[in-house]
């Protein structure tokens, strides 16, 4: 399962129109997606998805070239 420090790379993204971050494992598979709801300049809600089945159904950008070595 996911563990602290397991992400090999990440990238800022929009998640349903909200600012967020997607992180990938060393092999280039998605590890998690986190979305932030911001109100009056403060983060008021954080939503995270780490379920591999849900992640597989999401439209995500390609992982950075540094993830998994040669991409």
How much is the pLDDT for 71? Answer: 45
Q: Which of 12, 56, 53, 8 is nearest to 34 (CA)?
A: 12
How much is the pLDDT for 3? Answer: 55
Residue 30 CB burial class (10 angstroms; 0-12, 13-18, ≥19): buried
| Token reading at 39 | 């109100």
For the chain, list residues with pLDDT below 70: 1-7, 66-71
């Amino acid at each position: 399962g996911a563990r602290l420090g397991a992400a090999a790379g990440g990238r800022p993204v929009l998640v349903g129109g909200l600012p967020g971050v997607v992180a990938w494992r060393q092999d280039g598979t998605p590890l998690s997606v986190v979305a932030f709801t911001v109100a009056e300049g403060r983060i008021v809600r954080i939503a995270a998805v780490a379920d591999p089945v849900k992640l597989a159904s999401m439209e995500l950008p390609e992982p950075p070239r540094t993830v998994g070595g040669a991409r």
